[in-house]
Amino acid sequence: MNDLIEETEHIIRMSGFFGKRWALLAGRDVTGLILLIEELTPPDGRVILPATCCMTRLAAVLQTGRTPVIVDVDRNLSMDPIQLVNIAKKGDLVVAVHLFGIPFRYESIYEVCKQRQCILVEDASQATGADIDGRPAGSLGIASIISFSDRKLFPTIGGGCILMEDEDLYSLMKPRVRELPSRPSFYRTTKRQMQKDFEDPLRRTRMGEIYAAGEWMALYKKYDGIYRFGVLEREVEQIQTAFAKFEDTVDHRRKMVYALRKNIERADVHILEYPINSAPWRFTFYTSNNMTGEDTMNLAEALRKGGLDVNQLYIPLHWLAPVKTVTDGCPVAEYAGVRTINIRVDQDTTEDHARIAGEIIMSLAK
């Protein structure tokens, strides 16, 4: 098994897709993030996260016992460097996220981290294949994480990866990754049950009862066994296969984002900006203040009935764990939190999907 893992890690390093010298495969991208946090910060350290990102990033920080610090985002839902400079302290670990495949403002975030003497970790799980100022997503910061699961840019059944440039960090991380336990047999069932249990609090949050999101903390503790484990052999085999068609996958997703934008650009919604060299995971927009949370939920449901794969999971992180986080408020994330709609753009997405989405959004957005 280790031979197969190391062979695949070598392929990842040599592919040129990520621009880092070292790679370690784990069971999930969030597993890699947990190990990096533990290695790069003291037990009482702080980890800064953008207010809008996957809730597993908050779970990673809580798993380590560090203090999560939430910083607001810009209108493109990327970490806002202007807000970061006001909250970052020496020794903080900053997890910057390329959300939905849209690159964060790397140069600005990097300069803040350099000025404040923070450690920068790049979360490229939703942007593998993107180009950022001439460098590939995954090549930035002291380390980065990518994902091979949940129909991300590498359409495989699972797995995550830690990418590093520093050999000393690689030497410290390798034994920790190799010692990870096997994925528990109950993992997928437990993960689905957690998502199901959170559906009602999430619905109430979108309807304006924002404190309902805090019920996530109890679920996080109840299902805390789904974050730390190693990669499976069948996942490693699929990762190798995915590399052969990776560029075609990214190209198709870019075309579908263009088609979706073309069909809804006249609607009264805020469409996120996808640079030409991005690698979209989802096509994302948020509705105007003319629409209530209920209106937005009805629009999302209409899109689902039209055959689109839609989610609305990305509510502000500080709503999920208000007692555990330190923040000065995140008005942009809060505004978008109940209004954001994400449409998946994978290999199954077609021009017809884009046309149908346009018709629905143009008729219901106000």
| pLDDT tens-digit readout, 82-128 | 999 999 999 999 999 999 999 999 999 999 999 999 999 999 999 99
Predicted confidence at residue 247, as pLDDT, reads 85
Same domain, 179 and 288: no
Q: Is the dihedral of CA 129, 130, 132, 138 positive or negative?
A: negative
- List, in sequence order, every residue forming a beta bridge with 341; answer none if it has no partner: 285
Tokens for 73? 């985002």
CATH number of the domain bearing residue 75: 3.40.640.10
Question: What average pLDDT does the chain have?
Answer: 94
Residue 255, in any domain of the structure: yes
Number of structural domains in the chain: 2
Q: How far apart are CA 255 and CA 207, in angstroms?
A: 33
Q: How far apart are CA 31 and CA 184, in angstroms?
A: 14
CATH number of the domain bearing residue 298: 3.90.1150.10
What's the full length of the chain, in residues? 366
CA gyration radius, the chain? 19
**Cβ(343)–Cβ(264) below 8 Å:** no
Same domain, 54 and 109: yes
Predicted confidence at residue 353, as pLDDT, reads 97
Predicted confidence at residue 145, as pLDDT, reads 97
Predicted confidence at residue 249, as pLDDT, reads 87
Predicted confidence at residue 107, as pLDDT, reads 94
Same domain, 280 and 313: yes
Same domain, 51 and 154: yes
160-208 tens-digit pLDDT:
999 999 999 999 999 999 999 998 888 889 999 999 999 999 999 999 9
- List, in sequence order, every residue forming a beta bridge with 271; answer none if it has no partner: 285
**Cβ(53)–Cβ(97) below 8 Å:** yes
206-248 tens-digit pLDDT:
999 999 999 999 999 999 889 999 998 888 888 888 887 888 8
Same domain, 308 and 350: yes
Predicted confidence at residue 330, as pLDDT, reads 96
Same domain, 130 and 272: no
Residue 97, in any domain of the structure: yes
Rounded (5°) CA angle 125-62-97: 25
Q: How far apart are CA 104 and CA 76, in angstroms?
A: 9
Same domain, 303 and 232: no
Same domain, 234 and 271: no
Residue 93, in any domain of the structure: yes
- List, in sequence order, every residue forming a beta bridge with 145; answer none if it has no partner: 123, 162
Q: What is the percent of the chain with per-residue pLDDT over 70, rounded to a whole number?
A: 99
187-199 tens-digit pLDDT:
889 999 999 999 9
Residue 202, in any domain of the structure: no
- Helix pair 167-178, 29-40: axis angle to 10 deg: 120
Convert 258-269 to b/e letters by CB count within 10 Å (16 or more is b): bbbbebbeebeb
13-64 tens-digit pLDDT:
888 888 899 999 999 999 999 999 999 999 999 999 999 999 999 999 999 9
Residue 180, in any domain of the structure: yes
Which of 199, 217, 239 lies at the terminal end of a domain, its last residue?
A: 239
Which of 206, 239, 272 lies at the terminal end of a domain, its last residue?
A: 239
Same domain, 262 and 231: no
Same domain, 231 and 294: no
Q: In what order do the strands lie in the sheet with 160-164?
A: 22-26, 160-164, 143-147, 119-123, 93-97, 46-50, 67-71
276-320 tens-digit pLDDT:
999 999 999 999 999 999 999 999 999 999 999 999 999 999 999
Alpha helices in the chain (DSSP H): 2-14, 29-40, 55-64, 81-87, 106-116, 167-178, 187-206, 216-222, 233-244, 246-264, 293-305, 317-320, 331-337, 351-364
Which of 239, 271, 302 lies at the terminal end of a domain, its last residue?
A: 239
Residue 343, in any domain of the structure: yes
**Longest Cα separation, the chain:** 57
Average pLDDT value for residue range 64-77: 97
Q: How far apart are CA 204 and CA 218, in angstroms?
A: 16
Residue range(s) defining the domain that contains residue 324? 246-364
Q: How far apart are CA 68 and CA 252, in angstroms?
A: 36
In the structure, what pLDDT confidence band is assigned to residue 1 with cuts at 50, 70 and 90?
low
Residue 353, in any domain of the structure: yes
Same domain, 257 and 160: no
Tokens for 35? 């190990």
Which DSSP category does 210 fall into?
A: G
Q: How far apart are CA 15 and CA 111, in angstroms?
A: 28
Q: How far apart are CA 116 and CA 36, in angstroms?
A: 20
Residue 217, in any domain of the structure: no
Same domain, 181 and 263: no
Predicted confidence at residue 352, as pLDDT, reads 97
| pTM of the model as a whole | 0.96
In the structure, what pLDDT confidence band is assigned to residue 150 with cuts at 50, 70 and 90?
low
Q: How far apart are CA 287 and CA 301, in angstroms?
A: 14
